[in-house]
Structure 1
Amino acid sequence: MISDFARQAIVLGLLGAVGPFAIDMYLPALPTIAADLGATTAATQMTLMVFFLAFGLCQLIYGPVSDMTGRRPPLAFGLGLFALASLGCALAPTIEWLILARFLQGVGASAVMVIPRAIIRDRYTGTEATRMMALVMLVISVSPMLAPLTGSALIALFGWRAVFAGILAASLLSLFLVLRVLPETHAPEKRAPLSFAALGRGFATLARDPVFLGLTFIGGLGMASFFAFLAASSFLYIDHFGLTPTQYSLAFAMNAIGFFAASQLAARLGERHGAPKVVRAATAGYAAGMLTLLAVTLAGIDSLPALMALLFVSFAFLGLVIPTAMILALEEHGEIAGIASALGGTLQMVLGALSIAVVSALFDGTPLPMVATIGVCATVALVLSRTALRRLGA
C-alpha cells in the first residue's frame, strides 16, 4: 500500500516533470528542426530561451495568485494553456511560429514549476520537506533519462512534430491529476488578501532578506549550469562529436543520473550534518569539478569521455545543492510560500535564460563556451555560499 507521503511525491513529481519534459524531449530534434524550417542555430536555440524567460517571469503571477485563490485553480489554468501551446508547436510552419508557441508553452508550464514547491511548504518543513523535495526530484529524474530517448524514437518514426504530440499527451495527463487526484493544500483561512499592497509587502520582505536571496541565487546558478548544458549539448554531442540522436539521448541521461542519484542523499546528509554545511561542501565540489573541466578544455583536450565524466561529477554535487538550497530559502517564509517560491523561481529561470543567451552568442561548435559559462556559475555560487550561509549561521 503506497503511503500518502509517497503518493504526494509521485503526483507533485509528475507535475514538476512537465516543464523539463517539454525541454528534454525535444532536445534531440533541435538540429532537425533547424534544417526542416530553414533556421539558423541561434534562431533554433531561441525556442529554448523564450521558453525559459516565460517559464521564469510568469511565476511572479502564479505564485501570488496561488496564495490568494488556492493552489489548484492556477495549476489547472497553466496546464490548459500549456496543452494548447503544445498543439501550436506541433503545427508550426515557421521558426517564428515555433518561437511564439514555445513562449506560450513557458507561460503555461511555469505554473507547475512554482506551485508544487508552495504545496510542499504548505504541508512540510525542515528535513521532512527536504525529503519530499528529494522524492519529487526522483520522479522528475525520469524526464532527462527517458524523455530524450522517447523524443529520438518519435523523431525517427514520425518526425520532430510528433515530439510535441507526446508533450501534449503528457500535459493532458497532468491536468487530469490536478483535477481528480491532487487535494487543495492552501486552506481559505490562510489565503492572502486580494490586494496589491499585500503582494508588495510580501515581495519587500523577501527583497530585504539576504539569506533568501543568497540561497535563491545559489540554486539559480546551479539551474543556469543545466540550461547552458541544454542549449549547447545537442549541437556539441551530435554535430561536434558525431553522435546519433539516440546516442546523444543516452549520453544526456548519463549526465543526469549523477544529479538525481545525489539528490536522494540530500535529506539524509542534511539531517546528519545540517543543511547549511551540505550546501557549503556541495558548492565547493561543484566548483572544483567545473574549474577542472575548464582547465582541461583550455589545455586543448577535446574528449567526449572527459567532458561527460567531469560533468557527471559536477552535476552530482548540484544534486545536493539545489533541493537543499530551495528548502532553506523557503523555510522562514511559510505564510507567503507562493510569493517566495515565485520570486525564487523567477530569479532562477532568468539566470537560466541569461546563460542560454550567453552560450548561444558565444557558441562556436566547441565545448569551450558551454564549459566556461558553467565554470563562472560554479565560481559565483561558491562565493555566495560563503556569504549567505554565514548570515544564516548568525
Structure 2
Amino acid sequence: MTVRTAARPRLVIVLAGLSAVSPFATDMYAPAFPQIVTSFGTSGAAVQLSLTACLVGIAVGQVVLGPVSDATGRRRLLLAGSGLFTVFSLVCALAPAMFVFDVARLLQGIAGSAGLVIGRAVISDRFTGARAARQFATLSVIAMTAPVLAPVLGGLILGVGSWRLVFVALAVTGLVLSAAIWAWVPESLPAERRRPSGPRAAFAAMGGLLRRRELVGYLLVVGCGLGALFAYITGSPFVFQNGYGLSPTGYGLVFATNAAGTVAAGVAFGRLAGRVRLTTLLVTGVVIAAVSLTTLVILLAAGVETLPTTWACLFGLTSGFGLLLPASTSVILAIGSDSPGAASGLLGGAQFALGAAAAPLPGALGSTTAMSTAVVVLGFVFLSVIALSTLTRPWRKP
C-alpha cells in the first residue's frame, strides 16, 4: 500500500514530529533541574528520578503499544497517545508536589512512546524497499537532532518563565500533533490485515529472540550505552550549572554542542556504513566513549576539574554514542530480521529500561558532582565493553 504523492510530505512531517516529541519531553526540562529542586524543596536525586519515570514509561509503552497496534490499528492509538501526552504534560506543569510530578512523568512517557513505536509501524505499512529505508533514515535523523534542540529551547523558555512553562510548551506541542494526526494521518493498517493475536505472537517472538546470545549481547551494548547517555543527561545540569556556574542558557549551549557531536558522528556513520563493517563502527564508538570517560575520571581524580576538560571529555562520550546507536540498531534488526517487530520492541525496551535505571544514579549518594556523574557514566560504558567482549565478540567473525 502506498500513500498519495501529495500526502507523503505531510505524513512524514507528522511522523517526524511524533519521533521527536519523546526526546523533547525527556531533555527539554534538563536545564530546569536546579529550579525544580528549589520549587519542590527536594533533592537533586529526586528530580533525576522524574526522568527515570519518563524513561520507564517510554520503555514499557514501546514494548506494549507496538504489538497492540498490530491488532487494533494505528490511527486511534496515535490520537490517544498524543491527546494523553497533552493532558499529562499539563499535569506536570500544574503538579503541586514531587510525587504527582513523578507519576505524571511516567504517564507522559507511556503516552509519548506511541509516536515512537507506532510511527515506525506506519512507515512499514505505507512504504516498502528503498522508500521505506529513506523514511526511516529521516526519522532517525530527527530523533538524533531533537536532543540537540530540546535543552536549548528549554533554556530559552527558562529565560522568560519558570520551569512549569516548559511543560506548557510540551502540552501545546501534543495538541498540535493531535490536530495534525487527525488531518493528515489516515489509518494505515486496514481491518483485514490486522492480527487479533498480534500481542501474544509478538511477545512469544520476543522470548525466542532473547534465547539468542549474540542478540542479547548487542541489546546490552546499546542499552548500557543509552544508560551512560542518560546518566550524563541527568548529572550534567548540576555539574555545569552548580559546579561551573553556567546559566540555564549557557548549559543549553554546552549540551547542544555535545549533542551536535552525536549528530555529526551519525552523519559520518551514514557515509561509512557501506564501506566499513557495522561491527567495526560499533566497536569504534564504544572505544571512543570508554577512552573519553576514563580520561575524565583520571583528570578529576588528579584534581583537574575545569570546564574545558570536562566539556571535551563529555563531547567524546556523545560522539562515540553517535556511532554506537545506529550501528547497534542496524545489527540488532539484522539478527532479528525473522521477527522485526519483536526485535524493534526489544531494542526500544532495552534502551529506555537501562536508561531509566541509570538516570538517578549520579545523585544517588547525595549531591551530584562531576566525579559522581563521570563514575556512573564510565560504569555503564564499561558494561557495554563487557557485553561486547563476552557475548558478541564481533572481531571473531569473518
State the TM-score, normalized to the length of structure 1. 0.89
Partner of 2:58: 55
- Please report how far the alpha carbon of residue 102 of structure 1 lies from its aligned counterpart in structure 2 after TM superposition: 1.1
- Tell me whether 1:321 sits opposite 2:308 in the alignment: no
- Tell me whether 1:44 sits opposite 2:50 in the alignment: no
Q: Is the 8 A contact 2:91 2:104 kept in 1?
A: yes
Q: Is the 8 A contact 1:145 1:250 kept in 2?
A: no
Report the secondary structure of 2:160's partner residue: helix
Partner of 1:347: 350
- Tell me whether 1:204 sits opposite 2:207 in the alignment: yes
What's the CA shift string for 1:36-91, capped at 9, x where partnerless?
Answer: 22222222222111111122122221121123233333222222211110111111
Aligned residues: 392
Correspondence for 2:226 among 218, 223, 226:
223
Partner of 2:264: 261
Residue pairs, 1:165-314, within 5 angstroms? 165-182=168-185, 186=189, 191-194=194-197, 197-314=200-317
- In structure 2, what is the Cα distance between the partners aligned to 1:147 and 1:196? 33
- Please report how far the alpha carbon of residue 200 of structure 1 lies from its aligned counterpart in structure 2 after TM superposition: 3.9
- Please report how far the alpha carbon of residue 246 of structure 1 lies from its aligned counterpart in structure 2 after TM superposition: 0.9
- In structure 2, what is the Cα distance between the partners aligned to 1:3 and 1:269? 33
Q: 5+ unaligned residues in a row in structure 1: which ranges?
A: none
Partner of 2:392: 388
- In structure 2, what is the Cα distance between the partners aligned to 1:161 and 1:29? 9
Correspondence for 2:35 among 32, 42, 45:
32
Across the aligned residues of Structure 1 and Structure 2, the Cα RMSD in angstroms comes to 2.8
Q: Which sits farther off after the overlay, 188-197 or 368-377?
A: 188-197
- In structure 2, what is the Cα distance between the partners aligned to 1:11 and 1:37? 35
Partner of 2:376: 373
Partner of 1:70: 73
Report the secondary structure of 1:302's partner residue: coil
Measured at CA, do residues 9 and 302 of structure 1 come closer, stay the same or move farther in structure 2, by a change above 3 Å?
farther
What's the CA shift string for 1:87-129, capped at 9, x where partnerless?
Answer: 1111112222211211111121122233334455664679974
Q: Which sits farther off after the overlay, 138-147 or 215-224?
A: 138-147
- In structure 2, what is the Cα distance between the partners aligned to 1:20 and 1:65? 22
Identity rate of aligned residues, in percent?
32
Partner of 1:85: 88
Measured at CA, do residues 271 and 293 of structure 1 come closer, stay the same or move farther in structure 2, by a change above 3 Å?
same
- In structure 2, what is the Cα distance between the partners aligned to 1:3 and 1:285? 43
What's the CA shift string for 1:229-258, capped at 9, x where partnerless?
Answer: 111111111111111111111111111010
Q: Is the 8 A contact 1:221 1:381 kept in 2?
A: yes
Measured at CA, do residues 219 and 392 of structure 1 come closer, stay the same or move farther in structure 2, by a change above 3 Å?
farther
Measured at CA, do residues 309 and 391 of structure 1 come closer, stay the same or move farther in structure 2, by a change above 3 Å?
closer
Structure 2: which amino acid aligns with 1:331?
A
- In structure 1, what is the Cα distance between the partners aligned to 2:397 and 2:366? 41
- Please report how far the alpha carbon of residue 146 of structure 1 lies from its aligned counterpart in structure 2 after TM superposition: 2.8
Q: Is the 8 A contact 2:362 2:369 kept in 1?
A: no
Correspondence for 1:16 among 12, 15, 19:
19
What's the CA shift string for 1:280-319, capped at 9, x where partnerless?
Answer: 2222222222222222222221111111111112211211
Q: Is the 8 A contact 2:67 2:198 kept in 1?
A: no
Q: Is the 8 A contact 2:224 2:380 kept in 1?
A: yes
Measured at CA, do residues 209 and 40 of structure 1 come closer, stay the same or move farther in structure 2, by a change above 3 Å?
same
Measured at CA, do residues 149 and 279 of structure 1 come closer, stay the same or move farther in structure 2, by a change above 3 Å?
closer
Structure 2: which amino acid aligns with 1:26?
Y
Q: Is the 8 A contact 1:134 1:267 kept in 2?
A: no
Q: Is the 8 A contact 2:262 2:320 kept in 1?
A: yes
- Tell me whether 1:357 sits opposite 2:357 in the alignment: no
What's the CA shift string for 1:346-374, capped at 9, x where partnerless?
Answer: 12111111111322313534211211111
What's the CA shift string for 1:165-192, capped at 9, x where partnerless?
Answer: 1001111222233333346555656544
Q: Is the 8 A contact 1:152 1:246 kept in 2?
A: yes
Partner of 1:161: 164
Measured at CA, do residues 344 and 138 of structure 1 come closer, stay the same or move farther in structure 2, by a change above 3 Å?
closer
Measured at CA, do residues 213 and 116 of structure 1 come closer, stay the same or move farther in structure 2, by a change above 3 Å?
farther
Partner of 1:101: 104
Structure 1: which amino acid aligns with 2:281?
V
Measured at CA, do residues 268 and 167 of structure 1 come closer, stay the same or move farther in structure 2, by a change above 3 Å?
same
Q: Is the 8 A contact 2:73 2:187 kept in 1?
A: yes
